[in-house]
Amino acid sequence: MRKVYLDYAATTPTDKRVIQTMIPFFNQKFGNANSLHSFGQEAEEAVKKSREKIARVLDCKEEEIIFTSGATEGNNLAIKGIFKALYDKFIKGAGDKLHFITTQIEHPCVLESLDALKQMFPKKYL
77 with 115, same domain?
A: yes
Residue 91 in any domain: the answer is: yes
41 with 80, same domain?
A: no
52 pLDDT more than 70 = yes
117 with 86, same domain?
A: yes
Residue 8 in any domain: the answer is: no
- Count of structural domains within the chain: 2
Buried b (16+ CB within 10 A) or exposed e, 83-107: beeebeeebeeeeeeeeeeeeeeee
76 with 112, same domain?
A: yes
- Rounded mean pLDDT of 32-51? 93
- Rounded to whole angstroms, the Cα distance separating 124 from 13 reads 44
Enclosing domain of residue 43: 16-64
pLDDT confidence bin for 124, thresholds 50/70/90: low
75 with 113, same domain?
A: yes
- Rounded to whole angstroms, the Cα distance separating 65 from 79 reads 16
Global model pTM greater than 0.75 = no
122 pLDDT more than 80 = no
Residue 4 in any domain: the answer is: no
54 with 81, same domain?
A: no
| Listed residues 39, 64, 89: the one ending a domain | 64
Q: The dihedral of CA 22, 47, 65, 118: what is its sign?
A: positive
20 pLDDT more than 70 = yes
